Chains A and B, each alone.
Chain A
Amino acid sequence: MSIYYLFQDAKKCIGCRACEVQCSSNKALSAVPKLCQIMTVGPKFVGSLPRAAYTFMPCFHCENPWCVAACPTGAMQKRDRDGIVFVDPELCVGCKTCMSACPWGAPQWNEEVGKVVKCDFCKDRVDQGLPPACVTVCPTDCLHFGKADQVRPVRRERYAKAMAGIE
């Protein structure tokens, strides 16, 4: 299982999609494959206030990744060391089975090479102690990356602050 967790503090997200652009640019991909994507729902009026949801969708790097199980060539793999799920382009034959298998649409089609491409948490950066590209540039710092058992309890902190009534 991936020991990492990419937490989106959606309250801070402004749906600007800097994460998407930095991801594509860092991977030198065309604009079509979206290894991560902000999915916007709304805006719509909730009472007198317009509200929208901006949901960040990278790969979740599952404990039991269906894409890996589905891959007939062994291209889709889970890294032993930390559970990062990635695709080896040398082994990918472009059968797209992983795209069918993933419940969240994480594997993407890279038409330029006729193979699948997907979020690998920028493992080359992670290996250098750096956060993934998307997390690095987020202008509201709404994306957090770390070990799953060490992520700051942002929501609890915010809730506690709101409830405390001492400010």
Chain B
Amino acid sequence: MSNEVYSLCFMCSIRCPIRVLVENGEVKWIEGNPHVAGMEGNLCPRGAAGIALLNDSQRVQSPMIRSGPRGSGEWRKASWDEALDYVAEKLKTIIEKHGGHSLVLGERTQLSTHVSKTFLRALGSPNHFTHDALCKGSVNVAARSLFGYTDAQISIDYKNVKHLVLYGRNFFEAIEVKPVGAFTQAMENGAQLTYIDPRVTITATKAHRYFMIRPGTDLALNYALIHVILDEKLYDPEFVNRWVQGMPALHDFIRPYSPEWAEQETGIPAQEIVKLARTVSKDKPAVVFHYGYRGAGHPNEVYFRRSLFILNALMGSIETKGGLFFKKGPGEEGGKPARKLTEQALPKLEVPRFDKVGTPDFPLPDPNHGVGHRLPHAILNEDPYPLKALLAYRFDPLLSIADSNLTKRALDRLELIVTIDINYSDIAWYSDVILPESTYLERTDCIQQANGLKPQMLLRRQAVPPRYDTRPGAIILKQLGERLGIGQYFPYETMEDLVRWQLEGTGFTLEDFDAKGFVAYGKRQIFWDRKDGLKFKTPSGKIELVSSLMESAGFPSFPPYTPQAAPPAGHFTLMTGRCAQHTHISTQNNPYLNALVPENCLWINDREAARLGISDGAWVEVTSRCGSGRIKAKVTDLIHPQAVFMLHGFGHEAQAAGRSFSKGVADSALQENIFDPVGGSPAYDHTLVTVKPVRN
């Protein structure tokens, strides 16, 4: 008995379309969906490790209730009824005493996010946040400040790019399958790749130009590039005159930031900066200064991300082949998007968010996502009010929010911590109750509204029954909601019911997804007319270099550049990043992926290491103001002398995840909880550390 199921991967958050082959209730094969252009069998290593996740006996197999102190690993198995009743009783007591807003739900954005938002709002809490702000809140604000659209509403036509400039966007390691395939093809057709990063990555080994920039100075490089582009009139005059507002202000601002000035700041020779500006502009408008995937490095993040979008605007690489484009929704084809539970009439919320987003204290971050790294401060200071319960939904505050010691102190103040997760994540391990979610191969999920050049809908379909006693998150929240008296907001019994409810009025049915795993609203690629048809959502209808969004919130569009001081003697800037074999904090215990990359190490420049008496492979102690850890050194000339680097996502404390337990060091244990006060991103690459050899 065998069958095939078209679905969506969930080994990372990209949601690549896949085809799953099932034999006698076992998943035998996963490949990229052959009906989706650019997938056609292709997977990344994490996607290829999906069956190993499904069959992993080290994931959470049933609801668990803590029976010892938090984090002790003393658990008792519970039935779903028992666990849900337990959580509901605790929540009822907390809500009665402290109000619905004392509950916070943090999650990694996913297809059922509308369900968890509904759950919180129905309970009277505005405190839903996603991981988005931790990843790229400032990219979101930068995009909105210029175009009126978020970065999530913008994409890149990689296939036709002629020159791609990447700033630490480790394109060939932080793999998105379709873009990697498309740009590989573009390179085959002659596209150029310029890579800028204090550290050599695999992406750097594929680049035509590589600059080992001084850490934290990418903005200075961009100001010098803009300087040259304006000075030598290398921009696209037709596009700029028609669509860009604020050029005189940019001219005035950029004057002092010459290539010679930037050479001092970045370490990149002035003539190389001039050459780069000239070379890139030759291929305009099919050039992309990548605006970033993770955009959370430094406190000036929003201005750096704005500078990237501005470079694209100057090149005219907006809404054009080989450039950036705005994602088109079903409305462009006269269609309707899938419904969301949040469209129901929900109670009005009277209190501000815990992170103060949307108030004068923090006006610009996107309230759809909130700013999760403010959680420890809000809890510890009871500011703006006491928080008592946390629902962590496949989001790990301990390993994702900088300064895990601070986060742990805050969590200790909570009366209830509940985790919905597949794995024994560190937050699951530190919770009072774990409600185990079924993997992506074991559950149908909510509709993916895939806006783009061709608007589509995609669907994750259950391929096999749950292997253990787990449930889909949207069912868990519904069943919890029923116990809390808000069951009416969850009008479904099964995930299929919920999808059918979502599809009402769209003209599509659940069965329409059977053949290929997706449905399309139209056949053509939609590009707006670059002469008259660009629909910027700014007040002026143009790209606002002088941003009304920022200025009206009291932030200058072009504050003077603050030089990045060299680290004091004996200190390094701690950088963090990804490899192709792991997704954030969630795959380190996967049998295959763990075997490929079992732990992280600390990259340190060979000359600095020699000075400190550190040899390759030796144990070192790395220490910041927040914490310290012991880790093996990777001594190399592939990193800037002022930086050290470690992969994100290691140093797990959950013992039940036996392969990843205690392997490597968590970057979050070292990083300070500092951030961009305008855009909201954390400044993950802005912590200073010392490194010393461990003498045994």
Contacts and interface: CB of A to CB of B under 8 A. Distances in A.
B190 interface: yes
Nearest to B272: A48
Interface in A130-155: 136-142
Contacts of B188: 12, 158
B571 to A, nearest CB: 25
Contact of A25 (B202, B204, B592): B592
B263 interface: no
B638 A43 contact: yes
Given A17-B45, A22-B43, A136 B31 contact: yes
A91 interface: no
Contacts of B52: 25
A49 B207 contact: yes
Contact of B43 (A24, A30, A139): A139
Contact of A16 (B29, B175, B637): B175
Contact of B184 (A12, A15, A21, A137): A12
A51 interface: yes
Given A12-B188, A22-B48, A31 B591 contact: yes
Nearest to B598: A31
Nearest to A162: B190
Contacts, number: 100
Interface residues of B, number: 42
Interface in B25-39: 29-32
B48, B172, B173, B210: residue with the most chain A Cβ atoms closer than 10 Å: B48
B627 to A, nearest CB: 30
B637 A21 contact: no
Nearest to B40: A141
Chain A: interface size category = 20 to 34
A48 B188 CA distance: 22
Interface string A52-72: 100000000000000000000
B431 interface: no
A50 interface: yes
A42, A45, A50, A142: residue with the most chain B Cβ atoms closer than 10 Å: A50
Given A50-B200, A50-B638, A18 B47 contact: yes
A113 to B, nearest CB: 17
B184 A25 contact: no
B225 interface: no
Contact of A26 (B29, B44, B190): B29
Contacts of A31: 591-592, 594-596
B580 interface: yes
B180 interface: yes
A32 B595 contact: yes
A24 B44 contact: no
A27 B159 CA distance: 34
A167 interface: yes
A101 interface: no
A136 to B, nearest CB: 4
B589 interface: no
Interface in B146-181: 172-173, 175, 177, 180-181
Given A21-B593, A31-B591, A139 B177 contact: yes
A120 interface: no
Interface in B183-199: 184, 188, 190
Interface in B421-462: none
Given A21-B596, A137-B43, A139-B177, A52 B48 contact: no
A141 B181 contact: yes
Contacts of B638: 43, 45, 50
Contacts of A50: 200, 204-205, 210, 638
Contact of B204 (A22, A26, A43): A43
Interface in B580-605: 580-581, 591-596
A115 B51 CA distance: 24
A92 interface: no
A43 B634 CA distance: 13
A3 interface: no
A49 B181 CA distance: 23
A142 B188 CA distance: 11
Contacts of A48: 210
A52 B205 contact: yes
Contacts of A32: 595
Contacts of B209: 49
B210 A49 contact: yes
Contact of A18 (B44, B202, B594): B44
Interface of B: 29-32, 41-45, 47-52, 172-173, 175, 177, 180-181, 184, 188, 190, 200, 202, 204-207, 209-210, 580-581, 591-596, 637-638
Shortest Cβ-Cβ A-B pairs, 8 listed: A31-B595, A21-B48, A16-B580, A22-B48, A137-B43, A14-B172, A52-B205, A50-B200
Interface of A: 12, 14-18, 20-22, 24-26, 30-32, 42-43, 45, 48-52, 136-142, 158, 167
20 contacts: A12-B184, A12-B188, A14-B175, A14-B180, A15-B202, A16-B45, A16-B173, A21-B45, A21-B593, A26-B29, A31-B596, A136-B41, A137-B32, A137-B42, A139-B181, A140-B180, A140-B181, A141-B181, A141-B184, A142-B184
Given A12-B188, A25-B50, A137-B31, 5 more contacts: A18-B47, A24-B592, A30-B591, A52-B205, A136-B31
